[in-house]
Structure 1
Amino acid sequence: MEQLFFQQVVWLYQQEAITGETIYIDGTKIEAYANRYSFVWKKAITKHEAKMYIKWQALLEQINTTYCQIFTSPYETFLEDLKKVLVFLEKVKAEENITFVYGKGKRKTVLQRYHEQVKEMLQRKEHYDTSNQIMGEKRNSYSKTDHNATFMRMKDDPMRNGQLKPAYNVQAAVDAEFIVGINAFSDRNDTTTLIPMLQYVKEHLPFTYRNIVADSGYESEENYVYLKKQKQTAYIKPQNHERKKKASFKKDIRHRENMAYDKSTDTCANNQQLHAIRNYTRTSQTGYQSKVTVYECEDCTDCPLKEKCTKAKGNRQLHVAKEFLAYRETGTLYRMNRSIQVEGTFGVLKEDYHLKKFRTRGTGNVRNELLILAFGYNLNKIHTKIQANRLNLYYHPLKTA
């Protein structure tokens, strides 16, 4: 199905129905075919494992006292130590020819009690390790009935009361109203899906997109740096774009954008200079490292504007990722077309094609389901554009006043 879909996209490119230059990326969350109450949470696993480790230390001390041993168990070798102690207890059982008893009215030996507790802890530890392996570093939950599905906040009802459901983050790439790439991810955040989505499209197409248009949910320094290395132009809406247009934002002296700046110095609303005092590295969820510079106002003592500027007891500090700010660009025509083309595509898939919940499980099967829908969507779009004589029209024009 994957090969067939991308053959269709290549044919569209050959017919000049798509640009092959500008691509619009967006995502939406679609419910997985999984039990809604089959969740496993990373926080719960971490908490229970920590409590079990405390009980394990107490049990290990009892075993050492009973059998005159010197077992120790640092957290790093928790699993191996459980196995080692269990082997020791089974050896004692064989040497002393002890038979374990079960059922009502049977009195268990001290050895049997130790053996059962260690065995139970070992099973729980193996279960916790398996769950952490399924989730990996980026996820904090998964479904027992579909391990690739993550519990995400869904907006279902008219009152917009969000519900946590097992779901996939579906990413679509659109060019001239045609779907040129679609995939499902377990990431709740759109930011971490941009690079793998672009790599997926690039891997299957004989041409490379130069203009990448995306919403503010995809803005990060890591994504900007990646696009620059690929010689692609980023048209990503800044995360504070809507807030910056409000009068309340422009009047708020706390924001960096409202401070006076030139090449030689930065000054706050009270004309006090801000000096760079240190640098540090911030690591993102994907492991990308960003350099951050900390600026501090020279003296906030007795400043009449301090209450409006900061809640800090000392001087005001600003944390600035300079490289990230340098990458921000704008593209009015592209941003307007992104909202029409890719969000319109999701509207059709959800309402007309009834993509409200997947019918298969696992990322591979879900991807195939999406590719079938996208293939049919493109066929329908070809027919519609031919009938309207719009096959070679790539952009919706900006409205003029």
Structure 2
Amino acid sequence: MNQTQQKEYSRKAAQYQQLALPITQNIEIAEDEPVFVANAQLEELDYRKLYKAYSPKGRKSAAEPRIMFKLLVYGYMCGIYSTRKLEQACRKNIDFIWLLQGERVPDHTSFARFRSGKAKDAIEDLFYQFVRRLWEEEEIEYEEVFIDGTRMESMANRYTFVWRKSVTRQLAKVKEKARELFYQYGGEGNLTVGKLQALAKSLVPEGGEMVHGTGRRKPFWQRQYEEIDRLVVRWKKYERQLFEMGCHRNSLSKTDKDATFMRMKEDHMGNGQLKPAYNVQLAVNSEYITGVAAFSNCTDSGTLIPFLNHIQRMQGRSYRDIVADAGYESVGNYLYLASRGQNCYIKPTNYQTRKTRKYCEQLWRAENMRYLEDEDCFVCAAGRKLRFYRSCSQESNGVVTTYNYYQCDQCTGCPVRKQCTKSQNPDFRKEVKICEEFAQHRAQAHENLLTERGVLLRMNRSIQVEGAFGVLKSDRQFKRFLMRGKTNISLELFLLCLAFDLDKYCSKLRQDRRKTHLFRSKKSRYL
């Protein structure tokens, strides 16, 4: 019986299994395909700033920076964030091969170097170039902007964090121990790190040699020197950590010093998971992301002013209506928007609770007391007057606010005392603190939200900006940054948001919804 030999089998199989395409074969991509639309839009951008980020000296890149940028953006459109998977897609995926335009396939290290943060300013400029292009095509308008934030986990290890309170306490202990040794070994004057180091050097005798290792072989002066040196090292380390935290941060990660520890989603036990993360802020207009920034600040209220300033600086124009949720309410933000002539649609923190019966029955609240303007006093539920007796001013982040204090003349024998206060002091007198600027602007914001346009903007905020976060974190599964440092994660955000805008542009083009800006409520559709 004749048997097929290995050589014959391999030769015959190769004739049928090897598929050869002619090198001159053109790849046809339909004009309505996302890769075609994205390539056409990205071709209109100015890449001079990107090319300046690359030196003409040295080894030439596998592909041009312009093509590398397109590949990364389209990879983010497809949900591909790994550089190794991007390299694999460039070898096997027909869309990526078409984007390469005959260039060599970049390896994963080339993509990693491109995304390392050196071209952060250039990619940020390309993102805002596309935003301006959307405005030229009337895809967006500078009427309203929807702002919201989310906490996105850092790549840092959650077990490598330090807290300001702990660092401050340890630094105080180090200083106390150093002060004790400083005066014990003959130091004079006020204690400083420089004087402590000089004292340690003075303990070393002329010609003295350090003995390495442990045990009794070390001379007494070396043990003194090493004890002071350890204190100096710890002193400098704690001061450096406090400096890196700055004035507004309460924690620091050793592996990602820009990240702040925030309380993330609750675990199965109902406890909030504490992880290193960034506060990512998005500005959405006409369903497109028109502004993005990452902050180490945990609170949204502290990010609104710098975020709006950044958007105006990059876009060259400001929005008329600012729409945000209750987390952005503060007297500083109210005064900032009023000074710029922008309409405030910030939801007050008591917007929902003030509608409840429990809130209305809380007699101790100033909102539930009657105010007599001619006498400048409040009247409580028992009919007693709380008169103005002092005022003070406070400055925070350059904003000066004034607080007025009103106090009751006599609370003894009040029939509603138990409902008004828990104090057992018989001489207690009810006091309320009022910030006039905050109360006025909160009332105006509440009035704006109750108008027909306010209801429409409030509905669109929940659809557009919260929908954008839902797409990025749930649909695209981008829940954690791939790189460390604020510069690197900002570059990731620009690529991610540009990919989102291109995908939204393709979707509107496919659904024939171009130049639409707001979703209309169901009631207005049937009017």
TM-score, length basis structure 1: 0.91
The answer as to 2:183 corresponding to 1:61 is yes
Partner of 1:259: 369
Tell me which of 54, 61, 70 is aligned to 2:188.
70
Partner of 1:307: 418
Partner of 2:296: 186
Q: Aligned partner of 1:194: which letter?
A: L
The answer as to 2:202 corresponding to 1:84 is no
Q: Aligned partner of 1:41: which letter?
A: W
Distance in 1, matches of 2:150 and 2:275, equals 14
The answer as to 2:518 corresponding to 1:380 is no
Distance in 2, matches of 1:246 and 1:386, equals 45
Distance in 2, matches of 1:304 and 1:24, equals 48
Q: CA deviation at 1:106?
A: 2.7
Distance in 1, matches of 2:483 and 2:273, equals 21
What does residue range 115-194 of structure 1 map to in structure 2 within 5 Å?
115-155=225-265, 157=267, 161-194=271-304
Partner of 2:390: 278
Aligned CA distance change for structure 1 residues 90 and 153 (closer, same or farther; 3 Å) = same
Partner of 2:381: 269
Q: CA deviation at 1:302?
A: 1.0
Aligned CA distance change for structure 1 residues 109 and 351 (closer, same or farther; 3 Å) = same
C-alpha contact 1:60 1:71 (8 A) present in aligned 2: no
C-alpha contact 1:45 1:128 (8 A) present in aligned 2: yes
Partner of 2:129: 7
Partner of 1:26: 148
C-alpha contact 1:151 1:165 (8 A) present in aligned 2: yes
SS state at 1:275 partner: strand
SS state at 2:162 partner: strand
Q: Deviations over 1:68-119 (max 9, x none)?
A: x53443xxxxxxx232133134234245x54443434435444333322221
Q: Deviations over 1:160-199 (max 9, x none)?
A: 5310111110000001111000111111111111011111
C-alpha contact 1:297 1:317 (8 A) present in aligned 2: yes
Distance in 2, matches of 1:359 and 1:53, equals 39
Q: CA deviation at 1:159?
A: 6.3
Partner of 1:77: none
What does residue range 103-114 of structure 1 map to in structure 2 within 5 Å?
103-114=213-224
C-alpha contact 2:147 2:283 (8 A) present in aligned 1: yes
Q: CA deviation at 1:391?
A: 2.1
C-alpha contact 2:200 2:225 (8 A) present in aligned 1: yes
Q: Give the greater-gyration-radius structure (CA).
A: 2
Give the fraction of aligned pairs with identical amino acids, expressed as a percent.
Answer: 40
In structure 1, the gaps of 5 or more residues are: 74-80
Q: CA deviation at 1:315?
A: 0.5
SS state at 1:192 partner: coil
Q: Deviations over 1:253-274 (max 9, x none)?
A: 1111111123123211111111
Q: Aligned partner of 1:339: which letter?
A: S
SS state at 1:27 partner: strand
Distance in 1, matches of 2:346 and 2:253, equals 32
SS state at 1:241 partner: coil
Higher relative contact order (CA 8 A, sep 6+): 1
What does residue range 352-371 of structure 1 map to in structure 2 within 5 Å?
352-371=475-494
Aligned length: 388
Partner of 1:222: 332
Partner of 1:78: none
Distance in 2, matches of 1:38 and 1:125, equals 19
C-alpha contact 2:281 2:292 (8 A) present in aligned 1: yes
C-alpha contact 1:86 1:115 (8 A) present in aligned 2: no
SS state at 1:290 partner: strand
Partner of 2:49: none
Q: Deviations over 1:292-340 (max 9, x none)?
A: 1111112111111111112343101111111111112132222221111
Distance in 2, matches of 1:228 and 1:123, equals 49
C-alpha contact 2:147 2:282 (8 A) present in aligned 1: yes
Distance in 1, matches of 2:171 and 2:268, equals 40
Q: Aligned partner of 1:295: which letter?
A: Y
C-alpha contact 2:175 2:235 (8 A) present in aligned 1: no
Tell me which of 158, 164, 174 is aligned to 1:36.
158
